[in-house]
């Protein structure tokens, strides 16, 4: 998948993460979890086709740890 040169950027505040895993369910190409369940950002500038999944992750994260910064 081609990585866009510009576009919305995903921000993850891992210190807020409560390891619920919903972001991985919503957008597994963008988020993973470490051995403690804390979210890992795999792709801070996802392809346009993935942005709806990221918006879903933002919506379901119980810790409000994810932001999609639209530029």
Q: Binding residues for ligand SF4, per CB under 6 A?
A: 17-23, 39, 61-63, 65-66
Residues 26/39/65/44 CA torsion (nearest 10 deg): -80
Least gap, CB of 66 to ligand SF4 (angstroms): 5
CA–CA separation, 21 vs 3, rounded Å? 25
Least gap, CB of 61 to ligand SF4 (angstroms): 3
Nearer to ligand SF4, 2 or 37 (CB): 37
Least gap, CB of 27 to ligand SF4 (angstroms): 9
Nearer to ligand SF4, 32 or 47 (CB): 32
CA–CA separation, 26 vs 61, rounded Å? 10
Q: Are the C-beta atoms of 8 and 69 separated by less than 8 Å?
A: yes
């Amino acid at each position: 998948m081609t990585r866009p040169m510009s576009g919305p950027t995903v921000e993850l505040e891992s210190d807020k993460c409560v390891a619920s895993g919903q972001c991985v369910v919503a957008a597994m190409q963008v988020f993973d979890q470490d051995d403690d369940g804390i979210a890992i950002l795999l792709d801070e500038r996802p392809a346009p086709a993935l942005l709806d999944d990221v918006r879903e992750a933002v919506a379901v994260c119980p810790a409000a740890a994810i932001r999609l910064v639209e530029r």
